[in-house]
Amino acid sequence: MDKILMTPGPTMVPEEVKRISGLQPFHHRTPEFYELFSNLNKNLKKIFKTKNEVLTLTSSGTGGMEAVVANLFSSKDKVLVASIGNFGERFYNIAISYGLDAELCDFGWGQAVDLNILENKLKNDNYKALFVTHNETSTGVTNNIREIAQTANKYNTPVIVDAVSSLGGIPLEMDEWGLDAVVTCSQKCLMSPPGLSFVALSDRAWNMAEKSNLPKFYFDLKKARQGVLKAKPDTPNTPAVSTIMAVKKATDMLLEKGMDNVYKNQALYGKRVREYIKSLGLELFPEESIASDLITAVKVPENYNASKIISYMSEKHNVLITGGQGPLKGKIIRIGHMGYVAEEMLEKTFEALRDALSSM
C-alpha cells in the first residue's frame, strides 16, 4: 500500500498522472515533444495568469529561485528579502551567495509580512527588488502577496515571489497583481512528481535580465525563453521529459476542474483541518487569520514528542506528516493538504493523528 503523503511536498500524485509519467518518454527533439511542450506552456500561462512565457527548468523549486537571482541581478545590487521562515531565509542565502547586497527583514517564524514595516523599509531606501514567499511551509503562514505587491509597486520596486508551494493551490495573478518574477515547481500544488521548476518574468524583469552581469549557464533564462519561442518549442538542455508529460496531464486536470473551484476546495480543506485540530484540543501555530489553506502547522503539546507522533502515524497508519524545521524542530508538526487531496486521505490522517495522540 502506498504511503499517504500529507507533507509539504512531494505530494500525492493522481493515478491518471502516474500512468502518464510511467510511459516511455518522448525524445526531446521530436514533433511529439514539441507539441507536448507547447501545450504545457499554454496551460502554465493560464495558471500563472500571465501573458508572458513560463519557462521550464529541470530542477527543484530552489533551482528556480537561484535562476531568478542569477538572471535578474548584478553583483552588489541592493535587494530586500522579506522573510517569515525557512524559505524566506533561503532566498536571502541564495542572494548572498551570488554577491548581492541583500538585507534580511525578518518578520518572525509564524508571522506574516507587516505592511507598515515593509512600506517604511521601501520608502526609506532604494532596493533593486523585493523577495517574498507566498506560502511559507515551514510555519503554515500565507502572505497577502497582492497587498505586498501593491505596497512595493508604490515605490517602483520589482517583486520576486517564491510561489513554490502556492501556485495552483491558492489564488495568484501574476500580471494583474504586478508581480515581476514568480517561481514554482512540479511536486506541490501541480500534483506531479518532483523534477521541474517553472519561472515566469514580467516585461520589467526581462529588462533587468538584459543588464545582469552574474554568471549563468544551465540556468540561463534567456536561452530557455528562446527555446519556448521557437516554432518547435523545446529546452536548451535535456529536460525531465517524463515529468513534463506528467505536469501536462496534471495541469489539464486542474484547468478542466477550473482554478476557482480548485482554490475553493483547497480553502475548504484548510478550514476542515484547522477545525479538526482544534477539536482535539490542539493549538495552531500561527494565528488563524494568516494560516495557510495548504499546510497546517500545529503546536506539539507539552509532554508529547513530535518525532514519535510522526513515526507512529507513518508506521501504524501509513500516513506521513512532517515536523518543524530550524527553531521549530520538535515544537510543531505540519500536515500538508495541497495538490491532490481526496476525502479518504483527510479521514485517514485525522484517524492516524487521533490514535497517535491517544497512544501517548
Spatial distance between the Cα atoms of 335 and 355, rounded to a whole number of angstroms? 15
pLDDT at 163: 98
Determine the 3-state secondary structure of 169 from DSSP: coil
pLDDT at 29: 97
pLDDT at 297: 98
Decide if pLDDT at 45 tops 80. Answer: yes
Percentage of residues of the chain with pLDDT beyond 70: 100
Mean pLDDT of 290-300: 98
Q: In this structure, are residues 192 and 340 in contact, taking their beta carbons and an 8 Å threshold?
A: no
For residue 284, what is its C-alpha cell?
A: 495552531
Percentage of residues of the chain with pLDDT beyond 90: 99
pLDDT at 68: 98
Decide if pLDDT at 338 tops 80. Answer: yes
Contacts of 220 (CB under 8 A, 6+ apart): 71, 236
Spatial distance between the Cα atoms of 222 and 212, rounded to a whole number of angstroms? 11
Encoded amino acid at 359, one letter: S
Q: In this structure, are residues 160 and 64 in contact, taking their beta carbons and an 8 Å threshold?
A: no
β-pair type (54-57, 159-162) = unpaired
Decide if pLDDT at 263 tops 80. Answer: yes
Query: Domains in the chain, ordered, with CATH?
Result: 4-10+258-359 (3.90.1150.10), 15-256 (3.40.640.10)
Encoded amino acid at 193, one letter: P
pLDDT tens-digit series, residues 132-172: 999 999 999 999 999 999 999 999 999 999 999 999 999 99
Which value, to the nearest 10 degrees, does the dihedral of the CA atoms of residues 347, 136, 10, 192 take?
100
pLDDT band at 184 (very low <50, low <70, confident <90, very high): very high
Mean pLDDT of 215-239: 97
Encoded amino acid at 321, one letter: I
HSE-up of residue 106 (Cα within 13 Å, Cβ side): 9
HSE-up of residue 64 (Cα within 13 Å, Cβ side): 28
Q: Which long-range contacts (CB under 8 A, 24 or more apart) does 211-214 make?
A: 211/74, 212/70, 212/71, 212/72, 212/73, 212/74, 213/74, 213/75, 214/69, 214/70, 214/71, 214/73, 214/74, 214/75, 214/98, 214/99
Q: In this structure, are residues 188 and 11 in contact, taking their beta carbons and an 8 Å threshold?
A: yes
Mean pLDDT of 9-13: 97
Decide if pLDDT at 267 tops 80. Answer: yes
pLDDT band at 210 (very low <50, low <70, confident <90, very high): very high
Decide if pLDDT at 1 tops 80. Answer: no
pLDDT at 99: 98
pLDDT at 2: 87
β-pair type (322-323, 332-336) = antiparallel
Decide if pLDDT at 315 tops 80. Answer: yes
> Of 88, 91, 68, 95, which Cα lies nearest the Cα of 201?
68
To the question of whether residue 334 is assigned a binding role by annotation, the answer is yes
pLDDT tens-digit series, residues 172-183: 999 999 999 999
Spatial distance between the Cα atoms of 323 and 90, rounded to a whole number of angstroms? 18
Encoded amino acid at 188, one letter: K
pLDDT at 295: 98
Q: In this structure, are residues 273 and 337 in contact, taking their beta carbons and an 8 Å threshold?
A: yes
Spatial distance between the Cα atoms of 186 and 65, rounded to a whole number of angstroms? 14
Where do the H-state alpha helices sit in 81-195?
86-97, 115-124, 145-154, 174-177
What is the phi/psi pair of residue 152, to 5°? -65, -40
Burial class (CB in 10 A: 0-12, 13-18, 19+), 131: buried
Element containing residue 335 per DSSP (H, E): strand 332-336
